[in-house]
Structure 1
Amino acid sequence: MHLARGAVFSLLLATGLALPGSEGSKHHANKARSAGYALKEPPLTTPWTDKVGTEPWPEYPRPLLQRSEWKNLNGVWKYQNASGLNAVQNPPFGQALAQDVLIPSCLESGLSGVQADWALYSWFSTSFEVSSSWKGEKVLLNFGAVDYEATVFVNGKKTGFHRGGYFRFALDVTEHLVFNKQNELLVFVHDPTDDGDYVIPIGKQTLRPSHIFYTPCSGIWQTVWLEAAPVNHITQLDIDGNMNGQVNITVHSSAKDAPAEAEVTVHKDGKVLATHNGPTNKPFQFTVPSPKLWSPNSPNLYNVTVKLDKDEVESYTGFRTISRGKVDGIERPLLNGEFIFMFGTLDQGYWPDGLYTPPTREAMVYDLQVLKKLGFNMVRKHIKVEPELFYQACDELGLLVIQDMPSLRPSQSKHVENCKSVPILPDEKQQAEFTRQLDVLVNQFKSFPSIATWVIYNEGWGQITDYYPEFGLTDRVRQLDPTRLVDSTTGWHDHGAGDFSDNHHYANPQCGTPFYSADSSPFDPSRIGFQGEFGGIGNNVSIEHLWKNQAAIDSINRTYEIDTTIEAWNYRSHILLGELEEQIRLFSCSGGVWTQTTDVEGEVNGLVTYDRRLARTDEKQWQADIKALYDAAAARSNATTATL
């Protein structure tokens, strides 16, 4: 059915979850308002669009390694399109760029003030002042994430280059600064997305949005900040607290070859529970007596203070152990030694006003609160990596995270000789870069207690199949992080790697069952039976809640199933969740992922609409159905159940 722009469809039930209040700003450097910046009207707004202002994301952005001396550089910067890759050879030092842009934001978003199209090459600039009180310290310039390649200049000098659109990086800019005066910061960004022959981690971004692939995000889309640190300072903390109270920690320092000792203190509610000294750049262990364990039902967290010479940082951890083992002869995921049925949503992390960048922290956390209130205990972060504050919120709320590695050129093909169509896959160099960025993903995020599982490949996207690289990549992830499970191939091309036998099927589940479909693999009882995706049923809405792009609107009927009323949608959801419950009772189902948290562009199969203004869920029904899943799993843990 073709959907005209003015057509009116069934209205949805309003969510019962109140919108959180706005948060104040502090530690902000860019206070000045810019007359040139203005929000560009996006195809759809959210309740937070008009709350963003010109001082976005004031929160300290790195919760596991916090310093007191810092300065937020978010705000209104300058932007202009660049002519091509060679433009980086002729930086526009001292020049006023063409227009204002809000940082952080995606250039293609309304919040950016630019709403660009095909933003392959870009210049960004701002200025900042550094107090003379920071003299004698190292001044570190931090970027939360820049998509995709960033070349950074300070006061006319190149200070660094970074590749990878999802990951934090820091540059020591001390020698390029002047104190108590304005410093010029200039950033060149190249973001090819899926242009030409580039095969890079992009997730669901595409220059040609269509149905389940979305508007791209280019530029500086996470927080930029300065901080002062001593010459020998802490660069990274790797922390894991297990169910026995053991803390496994590595304190990485900037002086890698200079032996030093760090002091680690674990405390809660003002009471010191343990203090231990250990060497930098090497793992060491100590024990906290009788800690309260972290779980979705009791997300207990403990503060951690680390001192290295003159450097002191704040962090936190939770005590829990994630593993797998047999329960009544069936492979199960275990949390603190007990079978946990992980049930969550496919969470795309897209916003109509900000695309990859949520409008505010409050908005980002709201999505997680919706899931928690319905009874979900997990979220699958789908081929996107979020700001670190997202994972802190999951730690605090008690939501396990299944974290995907962003895919390479998902579901795209090219024509070769004789007009034959073949999937676009990485060459040797591109595969090596994918592997390097997978390492970065694990190393940057492995200390968040909520992360339970790493996903390497989704539905064969970018997955080489003439040999099986997922086996080597699985070993690599386990070496970097032996404390988590690995879902090597969620859906499609499963050759036996990893901890999960993971089925994707729409709309009905096929979880750990003796039946499967042609586009999946038969259940492997030597691994955990898991429903990596199912559901996906849709319900259309009135035009004011839709992404107002005609191509997206025209693709709505490509949804796996369309239910014409909200009552029918809830009825069908109840039936599908009931099928999953039966598969828990009868077969080897150990968890599932419902598609999806929110609508996205041309998809209308979310629990809530893309603008986050309306919810489809019958709250009491969903709460009861989800509890029934946990009850069925608990029964399989406590007593032997007959299987077919």
Structure 2
Amino acid sequence: MNRYLLVAGLFAGAINFASAYKPAGNNIMTTWGENIDPAKVWQEYPRPIMERGEWQNLNGLWDYAIVGADAVTPAEYQGKILVPFCAESALSGVGKEVGADNALWYKRSFTVPKSWRGRDILLNFGAVDWQADVWVNGAKVGSHTGGYTPFSLNITPALKTAGDNELVVRVWDPTDLGPQPRGKQVAKPELIWYTPVSGIWQTVWLEPVNPTHISNLKITPDIDRNTLRVEVLSAGSGNGYMTEVTVKESGKTIATGKALAGEPMVIGMPADVKLWSPDSPHLYDLEVRLTDKGKTLDKVDSYAAMRKISTKMGDKGMVRLQLNNKDLFHYGLLDQGWWPDGLYTAPSYEAMIYDIDKTIDWGYNMIRKHIKVEPATWYTYCDRKGIIVWQDMPSGDKNPEWQGRNYFDGEELQRTPESEQTYRKEWKEIIDALYNYPCIAIWVPFNEAWGQFKTKEIADWTKNYDPSRLVNPASGGNHYPCGDMVDVHSYPSPPVTHVYDAKRANVLGEYGGIGMAVEGHIWAPDRNWGYIQYKTPAEVTDAYIGYANYLDQLAYDWFVGAVYTQTTDVEIEVNGLMTYDRKVIKIDEDRIRETNRRIIKNHSK
């Protein structure tokens, strides 16, 4: 199947405006951003974990307006915005802060292909920050809150029988004036806090389906029983329908399963099953069908991996992280996923995967995705490349007092019922959206004390909701005896003394932050910041290896995983291994690679 199949009508109208487009502002840009084509932005199929053959990409130039939040509709639209880049970004072509007092409106037209007639049409959004209301041809078709999760709307009743359809989206985003999950976005960026991201920031697209169709999958491997459990969820009336799954390897069927719609199936895998790991990231192809009396109502392509995430008490009384029942030292980078030209959105797919490729090339086996959620294609690429992911929940609300670094029964943040409901809703939606990606090994509900509340309750809920993964309750945060791990932060060096737990895996969730400002590649030339700064790549490399060798010693008696800060510079932070524009690598790559691989090997079996 062609994964990048586009139907007629793609980018309808956008090409006419391409000549008028140009990035906003004068900040540094990546090479991919400098060469962006507004008529061909983010054309990759956006949901490879559940892929259909027909779809229409709605990325491109839309009309936009920024008006008061109380306005019923804009009096007029003010120009063009390049979707899927947020309004504050350079690549949007707007480069304006929206703010909590305003709303951001979008408008464009689209045509439904004649070949789709008779089927339902789904309008899909990868992510919109934060509150979205959607109209088609003047009819309200749905709403969504949550800046990090995908949502779909069945817009069929609102469509015209022929000709152009009008799509309007209104977005309101209070940034740090609201309690919602927002990561590091603040209205007034400084130090480790960054520019707001408002509006559509992932792909928007259409797809045709039958009224009864597959709405989601839930895929759970069990290597101890050598089975693959697949739940096929359906929309519409699934009574009496069947679901069928075919497991393939290199085009050859190796296992099958059937179940009534709504019933999970447990598929026996071959005796010579191949396990997924960083050294061998083997994936099996899945063909999933929903049928009625032998007739296929819907078909999606997916994939799965056979792998197990767990812990085990090892020698010296240390709880070890395990992959496939073998000790594996998790060593990776704090990856925030920010871009100087696209902010939350990478300029292109090629730009996005560059960071993953460099992480692997430098000898790491893990990425901590820091208080952000990426597009589905990011996780699929990690699956294919064998990189383990620690997935953070984006922080929000207020930060409680830092209570200390030992176990305690102190006060936690007292959220309002609305704030708590908002957190729980989005955390569940994030886990639901990312559940099927084998690369994800660890859920991180809280970072440090940022928005931390009801820690044990949230950690227990997370573990019960997804027992197939580990839970790191609060990376570097206020510590409570819950979850599978205790996680400390220490800058710039790994710690001399800190919390230790004999019953859980002990990890160093952040350390390093070695800074180096590179002239011509700085977000704000008059101000930059790092935990410690050097002037040359040789100095940065020497400092890195010094800290890494100390970590190597600590890992014999203490830590079973570690995260170095960070992949790239971000805004005024200059403590990345690369500059923010990805044009300068600030380390001796060969020396770093050898050091990282040695540490992983020393503490894995």
TM-score normalised by the chain length of structure 2: 0.93
Q: Structure 1 residues 629 and 331 mapped into 2: Cα distance closer, same or farther (>3 Å)?
A: same
Aligned counterpart, 2:171: 189
Aligned to 1:149: 131
2:544 is matched with which residue: 566, 573, 596? 573
In structure 2, the partner of 1:537 is 514
Match for residue 602 of structure 1 among 552, 572, 581: 572
Which range is displaced more, 254-263 or 119-128?
Answer: 254-263
Please point out which of 514, 517, 522 is paired with 1:546.
522
Match of 2:484 in 1: 499
Give the structure 1 partner of residue 55 of structure 2.
70
SS in 1 for 2:553: helix
User: Does the 8 Å CA contact 2:183/2:371 hold for their aligned counterparts?
Assistant: yes
Asked if structure 2 preserves the Cα contact closer than 8 Å seen for 1:147 and 1:221, the reply is: yes
Whether the aligned pair in 2 keeps the contact of 1:304 and 1:317 (CA below 8 Å) is yes
Correspondence for 2:590: 620
Q: 8 Å contact 1:302–1:316 — kept in the other structure?
A: yes
1:51: how far off?
2.7
What secondary structure is seen at the aligned counterpart in 2 of 1:379?
strand
Quick check: 1:132–1:179 contact (8 Å CA) kept in 2?
no
| Pair 598,360 (structure 1): closer, same or farther in 2 beyond 3 Å | same
CA-CA distance at 1:630 after TM superposition: 1.6
The within-5 A match list for 1:49-448 is 49-54=33-38, 55-84=40-69, 86-87=70-71, 90-92=72-74, 97-120=77-100, 121-195=103-177, 198-244=178-224, 245-255=226-236, 258-289=239-270, 290-309=272-291, 310-328=297-315, 329-409=317-397, 411=399, 426-448=415-437
- Displacement of 1:428 in angstroms is 2.2
Report the Cα offset of residue 260 of structure 1.
2.5
Task: Give the distance between the partners of 1:330 and 1:263, measured in 2 at CA.
Answer: 44
- Say if 2:535 is the partner of 1:564: yes
Distance 1:429 1:96, change over 3 A: closer
CA-to-partner distance for each residue in 1:597-623, whole Å, 9 max, x for gaps?
000011111011001001012112111
Please state whether the residue corresponding to 1:299 is helix, strand or coil.
Answer: coil
Matched residue SS, 1:604: coil
Structure 2: which 5+ residue stretches go unaligned? Answer: 292-296, 402-410
Classify the secondary structure of the residue corresponding to 1:589. Answer: coil
CA displacement at 1:249 relative to structure 2: 1.2
Letter paired with 1:266: V
Deviations 1:240-285 (A, max 9, x none): 2232431111111003663422000010211001111013333321
The 1:536–1:479 alpha-carbon spacing in structure 2 relative to 1, beyond 3 Å, is same
Deviations 1:193-225 (A, max 9, x none): 012xx2110000111100101011111100000
SS of residue matched to 2:68: coil
How many positions carry a matched residue from both structures?
579
User: Quick check: 1:139–1:229 contact (8 Å CA) kept in 2?
Assistant: yes
Alignment-mate amino acid for residue 137 of structure 2: N
Q: Which residue in 2 is equivalent to 1:461?
A: 450
Asked if structure 2 preserves the Cα contact closer than 8 Å seen for 1:148 and 1:219, the reply is yes
Give, in whole Å, the separation in 1 of the partners of 2:4 and 2:53. 18
Contiguous gaps of at least 5 residues in structure 1: 1-22, 414-421, 517-521, 638-644
Name the amino acid aligned to 1:441: I
State whether residues 98 and 104 of structure 2, in contact with CA within 8 Å, keep that contact through their aligned partners in structure 1.
no
Structure 1 residue 119: Cα displacement: 4.0
CA distance in 2, matches of 1:425, 1:475: 18
Q: Which whole-Å CA distance do the structure 2 matches of 1:234 and 1:540 have between them? A: 50
Q: Is the 8 A contact 1:409 1:424 kept in 2?
A: no
SS in 2 for 1:158: strand
Does the 8 A contact of 1:346 with 1:597 survive in 2? yes
- 1:342 CA drift (Å): 0.5
1:17 match = none
User: How far apart, in 1, do the equivalents of 2:476 and 2:394 lie?
Assistant: 15
Partner amino acid for 2:540? W
Q: Supply the distance in 2 between the matched residues of 1:478 and 1:246 (Cα, whole angstroms).
A: 21
User: Given residue 471 of structure 1, which amino acid in structure 2 is its aligned partner?
Assistant: K
Deviation digits for residues 515-544 of structure 1 (CA, Å, limit 9, x no counterpart): 22xxxxx211110010000011111211x1
Name the SS for the 1:631 alignment partner. Answer: helix
Q: Is the 8 A contact 2:6 2:56 kept in 1?
A: no
Q: Is the 8 A contact 2:4 2:45 kept in 1?
A: no
Greater RCO (Cα-Cα under 8 Å, separation 6 or more): 1
1:476 to 461, 467, 486: 461
Is 1:39 the counterpart of 2:23? The answer is: yes
Distance 1:284 1:475, change over 3 A: farther
| 1:214 counterpart SS class | coil
Separation in 2 of the partners of 1:588 and 1:484? 22
Partner secondary structure for residue 550 of structure 2: helix
Counterpart Cα distance in 1 of 2:437 and 2:240: 27
Does residue 523 of structure 1 match 2:500? Answer: yes
Given the alignment of the two structures, is residue 629 of structure 1 paired with residue 583 of structure 2, yes or no? Answer: no
Q: State the alpha-carbon separation in 2 of the partners of residues 609 and 481 from structure 1.
A: 36
Q: Distance in 2 between matches of 1:426 and 1:165?
A: 19
Query: Is the 1:203–1:410 Cα contact (8 Å) retained in structure 2?
Result: no
Deviation at 1:565, TM superposition (A): 2.4
RMSD of the alignment, in Å? 1.9
Kindly indicate whether the alpha-carbon contact (under 8 Å) linking 2:99 and 2:175 is maintained by their aligned counterparts in 1.
no
Contact 1:455–1:490 at 8 Å: present in 2 too?
yes
Amino acid at match of 2:264: P
C-alpha distance in structure 2 between counterparts of 1:143 and 1:226, whole Å: 9
Structure 1 length-normalised TM: 0.87
